[in-house]
Structure 1
Amino acid sequence: MIETNFILNSFDIAKITNGSVTWKTPSNIALVKYWGKQEPQIPKNPSISFTLDACFTLTTLEYKKRMVAERSRSNNQNKLISTPLNHQDYNFDIYFEGEKKENFKPKIETFFKRIERYVPFLKNYDFIIKSRNSFPHSSGIASSASGMSALALCIMSLERLLSGVEMTDEYFYKKASFLARLGSGSASRSIEGSIVVWGKHKEIKDSSNLYGIKFPSKIHKNFKNYHDTILLVDEGEKQVSSTVGHQLMNNHSFAEQRFLQANENISKLSKILQNGNLKEFISLVESEALTLHAMMLTSNPYFMLMKPNTLKIINEIWGFRAETDSNICFTLDAGANVHVLFPESEKETVTNFITSKLLQYCYKNHYICDRVGIGAKQLSIR
């Protein structure tokens, strides 16, 4: 599909005066990383991710048809009437974890500006956005991915009510991913599950730079119910945002080689996910994680998001794997926290290793037990 397929050409705001919708939307962890983009939110290389389950954002979008004051010609009295507006501003408030967040508004406003062409009813409604995470915000777990995808799904639920035509689930989720991408690139991968590809790749059927798709081939049983235990090394704000990190790839000395490598790794991982080779999975996934952070270390200006305890955890994992021949491995997102990946068959032994050896390196022993999930879920609409 192309961009024009997602433009809503007609809608009836008279149908919906007010209401609310709530979506629970997961984060995701990229196995092959995307790092570097061009406008509008187009990845410089494709990526592929596990959809998570326990790490999610819960977002409620309350909407009310905008009313404007107009003076009555007959009795010279002010009255409120509902009319289509040519107003230049979006009217919304946002609450995160129960607190009003004015500093979140510029990002949401930018998002609304980017998507208004495709959902032109945004200025016809006043919105209240209420959101919370099941995990720490801005600490290397993809909070923007789950947050923007949840908001995109809420907006799509409203579009479904306003459009007046029957909308297929396929179109609904594809457009939700398309919209989410315009808020946060990785958000395009947080709509469905269990494995999602975002970015055009010649060997992945129907892959696109505009939205994420479910991995189209049969996944080997070894990757069913795969676990991801997230070790929270640092729960603070990242020193350098992902947005800035992506921008630094524009003039990066190793950028072109990295983009070629990512495309090659997508080809390799596609085969691994189908043949179930866990040793090859470990090698590729860990290499991708370290390459992501190598791009940060070699950018100009350079920066580091790993912490000393990140490296200690990695070395502990390498030592345990060498001793036991376990299929445990790690990956990293754009932060200090470590995602410990392992198959369902090793749940007991790896969990014991994590609790006995790795928690000492976590901030206040904090960690999250997660696993591969099935995607977003609508909880309510009224």
Structure 2
Amino acid sequence: MFTAADFIPKTYSSTIENGNFEWSAPSNIALVKYWGKKDNQIPANPSVSFTLNNCKTITKLAFEKKESKDAFSFDLLFEGKPKEDFKPKIRKFLERIEEYLPFLKDYHFTIDTHNTFPHSSGIASSASGMAALAMNFMSLEKKLNPEMTDDYFYQKASFLARLGSGSACRSVKGNVVVWGNQANIEGSSDLFGVEFPYAIHENFHNYQDTILLVDKGEKQVSSTVGHDLMHNHPYAYSRFAQAHENLDKLIAIFESGNIEEFIKVVESEALTLHAMMMTSMPYFILMKPNTLQIINAIWKFRAETKTPVCFTLDAGANVHVLYPENVSKKVLQFIKNELVGFCQNGQYICDEIGEGSQLIIDN
């Protein structure tokens, strides 16, 4: 397993003057939530997520060598238009990763990015965005160091993505990804995400995620602020212990295919995440009245029909409806009949488990 020091290159064996790459990277939805972090984007507890397939960021990176090497130089386009208000976040990311990619000041970059999901849909794009950018930078480093192994390439990409957005490290590779040290998961690390290394029952293959867009507005409290509020949280220690326990439970659940137990863990994790927000100081609530209406409707539908459908939440008001592929028709009819009315402008997105980042252009 690689350490942070392993990701600092000593020399490069090749040179390249210019070129471009394009990568897609998906969003992901955590089943066991990460909430709270230490310095350098290290998680306070481990997490595990489903990698999505349809909700992704596509980023093209064009690069050209420049004469002056004393500063970062880049242009940023979002959906084809200059996006100046995104630039400080990208500059901060470059500052964090320069130690690991010492060529960054050698080039002028043009970063052209867009999302496959609607802008301002309330779906967090930082994970997919930072993962896509990290993949592009790693493609450039691989040109400078052609001997690089695939294992090194993907683990370093996840490591770099984490420095831009913690959950981005789970958007690089694999359909089920673990991030954070967990004693019972071989190869797990605080430094990067790893593919879940054990058996996953066919019940969880092609799992579906329909995202109900309850509130597309900007969150009142950012995730960064929320994470910071865990430092002196009265329930932090218990919460971190609970995350380890639930991740252990999921190892057995994924192997056995026990969807009933899966539902218990996933829904409990979602509600615990929001309980941490409501019991921090200052306290805050990101759920909306319609979020609760949807949750209650899902519980009622599940009890009455015995359909194995459940919900999870990220740090916002939107609801991720999770269910096996073999009940898709029934669940989608339920969503159309009973849940769409709780969505802003009736909007929802159908997604499913995917495979991670994909290279589109290598030129």
Question: TM-score, length-normalised on structure 2?
Answer: 0.98
1:54 maps onto 2:57 in alignment: no
- What is the aligned partner in structure 1 of residue 76 from structure 2? 94
Return the alpha-carbon distance in structure 1 between the equivalents of residues 268 and 84 of structure 2: 39
CA contact (8 A) 2:122 2:217 kept: no
Return the alpha-carbon distance in structure 2 between the equivalents of residues 378 and 361 of structure 1: 37
Aligned residues: CA RMSD: 1.1
- What is the aligned partner in structure 2 of residue 290 from structure 1? 271
Match of 1:130 among 112, 120, 136: 112
Match of 1:303 among 278, 284, 294: 284
1:151 maps onto 2:133 in alignment: yes
Match of 2:301 among 320, 329, 342: 320
1:368 maps onto 2:323 in alignment: no
Return the alpha-carbon distance in structure 2 between the equivalents of residues 153 and 217 of structure 1: 25
Is the partner of 1:236 in helix, strand or coil?
A: coil
Is the partner of 1:21 in helix, strand or coil?
A: strand
- What is the aligned partner in structure 1 of residue 358 from structure 2? 377
> Post-superposition shift, 1:136?
3.9
> Post-superposition shift, 1:140?
4.7
1:179 maps onto 2:160 in alignment: yes
CA contact (8 A) 1:30 1:47 kept: yes
- What is the aligned partner in structure 2 of residue 3 from structure 1? 4
Return the alpha-carbon distance in structure 2 between the equivalents of residues 202 and 193 of structure 1: 20
1:45 maps onto 2:45 in alignment: yes
Structure 2: state its 5+ residue gaps. none
Is the partner of 1:262 in helix, strand or coil?
A: helix
CA contact (8 A) 1:140 1:333 kept: no
> Post-superposition shift, 1:16?
1.3
> Post-superposition shift, 1:102?
1.4
CA contact (8 A) 1:139 1:237 kept: no
Return the alpha-carbon distance in structure 1 between the equivalents of residues 134 and 24 of structure 2: 12
Return the alpha-carbon distance in structure 1 between the equivalents of residues 26 and 252 of structure 2: 25
CA contact (8 A) 2:28 2:51 kept: yes
CA contact (8 A) 2:51 2:175 kept: yes
> Post-superposition shift, 1:9?
1.4
Match of 1:112 among 73, 94, 118: 94
- What is the aligned partner in structure 2 of residue 272 from structure 1? 253
Return the alpha-carbon distance in structure 1 between the equivalents of residues 115 and 174 of structure 2: 19
CA contact (8 A) 1:139 1:335 kept: no
CA contact (8 A) 1:140 1:334 kept: no
1:28 maps onto 2:60 in alignment: no
Is the partner of 2:140 in helix, strand or coil?
A: helix
1:250 maps onto 2:231 in alignment: yes
- What is the aligned partner in structure 2 of residue 343 from structure 1? 324
CA contact (8 A) 2:155 2:193 kept: yes
Which letter maps to 1:293?
Answer: H
> Post-superposition shift, 1:240?
1.1
Deviations 1:275-295 (A, max 9, x none): 110000001100000000111
CA contact (8 A) 1:20 1:63 kept: yes
Q: How many residues align?
A: 362
Deviations 1:16-56 (A, max 9, x none): 11111100110000000000001110000000000000100
Is the partner of 1:335 in helix, strand or coil?
A: coil
Return the alpha-carbon distance in structure 2 between the equivalents of residues 133 and 202 of structure 1: 36
Return the alpha-carbon distance in structure 2 between the equivalents of residues 294 and 352 of structure 1: 31
- What is the aligned partner in structure 2 of residue 76 from structure 1? none
> Post-superposition shift, 1:203?
0.3
Match of 1:169 among 138, 146, 150: 150
> Post-superposition shift, 1:91?
0.8
> Post-superposition shift, 1:67?
2.6
> Post-superposition shift, 1:303?
1.0
- What is the aligned partner in structure 2 of residue 65 from structure 1? 65
Return the alpha-carbon distance in structure 2 between the equivalents of residues 191 and 352 of structure 1: 32
CA contact (8 A) 1:36 1:246 kept: yes
Which letter maps to 1:3?
Answer: A
CA contact (8 A) 1:139 1:238 kept: no
> Post-superposition shift, 1:133?
1.0
Return the alpha-carbon distance in structure 2 between the equivalents of residues 139 and 215 of structure 1: 29
Return the alpha-carbon distance in structure 1 between the equivalents of residues 12 and 109 of structure 2: 18
CA contact (8 A) 2:65 2:108 kept: yes
Structure 1: state its 5+ residue gaps. 69-84
Return the alpha-carbon distance in structure 2 between the equivalents of residues 292 and 333 of structure 1: 8
> Post-superposition shift, 1:254?
0.8
Deviations 1:241-268 (A, max 9, x none): 1111101111111111100100111101
- Are the structure 2 counterparts of residues 302 and 184 from structure 1 closer, same or farther at C-alpha, using a change threshold of 3 Å? same
